[in-house]
Amino acid sequence: MRRPALDGAHPDYRLFTFGERQVLAVPRSAMRVRRASVRCCPRDTPRKALYRAFLMLSVSARLDRFVGSTVPMPLPRRTAASISEWLGDPGSATREKAGWSFVVRWPPQLDRGRVYVHVLDGSGAAVCFLKVSLDTHNDRTLTREAATLADVARLAKRNFEVPAVLRVWRPERHVVLALAALPDPDRRDRRLGGTFPAAAVGEYSGHRRAVGPDDVLELSWFRDWEPPWDTIHERFRTELSSDRRPWVVCRAHGDLGTHNVVRAGGRSWIFDWEESAADAPHLADRVGFELSRLSRKLARRPTDWRGIVDRAAPGLGLLPRRDLIRALVFRTSRRMADANIIMRNWDRSGGWGQP
């Protein structure tokens, strides 16, 4: 099998950047593999779709040397070597693939602390997908994702599927999570659009249970969370602390949105479970799904959050106010900026949600 060169002096990759941000590292190999590599770049927003189209045109016209820089293997040497060793292991689920290439992609957030690796075979077909942690926070989240996927995989699922976990290991100081590649998305139905996947959420959320207000601090996600109280409006803090009714909790995906759901073979595939919790507020995914679509607008006009939400997601205003508050608290524990924006400007929340 052909393995990517790991000598740091060898210029193996074409690195594409956007501004000062690294976006994609594509192996300098056969054209079909290079084109398949560019398709690993997401297009879930108009700007990302335009950038991917630009990269595809550059690669197809063999002009990528003018828009990208030539670099060695972007992964740490020992990590890349460990991945290659696993891929070539006779016991690996990838053993029947003929050759492979690594495509390295960086998340859009500069401080995310991880990189993604798409592994392609010699024809450009997907072999598997890896998340490579670069810090201790991602070590925890990737380990949590692997455990959650194992639990969800055992469910009798009728309305959705999840990627299989192939391996979790530490080739160096940090964790690498290997997942089975997602199937090719349906051309006519690539995303769920704005439709909340209620049936799927109902299946994976499982049994609901009530937690008394004095036991909330023992919830798994609350226990290690540092609330940004200094940035939260006083009215929000008052409402949260004065509500002595039990919390209803269940499993939540934690970052459910159209960017983490794809349609393939007529089925919904839900991925990126690293923010999951088995004891999240029961409406966390319902609220998070709607807010994730509005994050950019909320960031641009934070003091107009109420108008933005009422226009784009009027259904949220029909939910109990206490459940909206609890979902926002959980969402900030997952470092979601949209929830923090609303909590900072809670003085504009009058009448939002049912009593």
Retrieve residue 159's tokens.
């309305």
Q: What is the mean pLDDT of residues 344-350?
A: 96
Q: For residues 99 and 125, give the distance between their C-alpha atoms in angstroms, rounded to a whole number.
A: 11
pLDDT of 51-78, one tens digit each? 999 999 999 999 998 999 999 988 888 9
* pLDDT tens-digit series, residues 203-230: 999 999 999 999 999 999 987 777 778 8
- pLDDT band at 188; cut points 50, 70, 90: low
- Residue among 154, 338, 330, 148 nearest 254 (CA): 330
pLDDT band at 266; cut points 50, 70, 90: confident
- Report pLDDT for 96: 46
Question: Cα angle at 63 between 62 and 67, to 5 degrees?
Answer: 140
What's the pTM?
Answer: 0.88
pLDDT tens digits, one per residue of 117-168: 999 998 899 999 999 999 999 999 999 999 999 999 999 999 999 999 999 9
Cα(82)–Cα(90) distance, rounded to whole angstroms? 14
Q: How far apart are CA 97 and CA 126, in angstroms?
A: 10
Alpha-carbon distance 279 to 260, whole Å?
A: 20
* pLDDT value for 6: 37
Between 4-13, 99-108, 177-186, the lowest mean confidence (pLDDT) is in 4-13
- pLDDT value at residue 263: 87
Query: Hey, is 200 helix, strand or coil?
Result: helix
- pLDDT recorded at residue 20: 82
Q: What is the pLDDT of residues 281-302, one digit of tens each?
A: 999 999 999 999 999 999 999 9
What is the structure's pLDDT at 38? 94
**Whole-number Cα distances in Å, 99 to 3, 4, 12:** 7, 10, 16
State residue 11's pLDDT score: 54
Residues 6+ apart with CB under 8 A from 281: 247, 248, 249, 252, 323, 326, 327, 329, 330
Looking at residue 90, its pLDDT comes to 60
Summarised one tens digit per residue, pLDDT across range 308-321 is 999 999 999 999 99
Indicate if the pLDDT at residue 10 is higher than 60. Answer: no
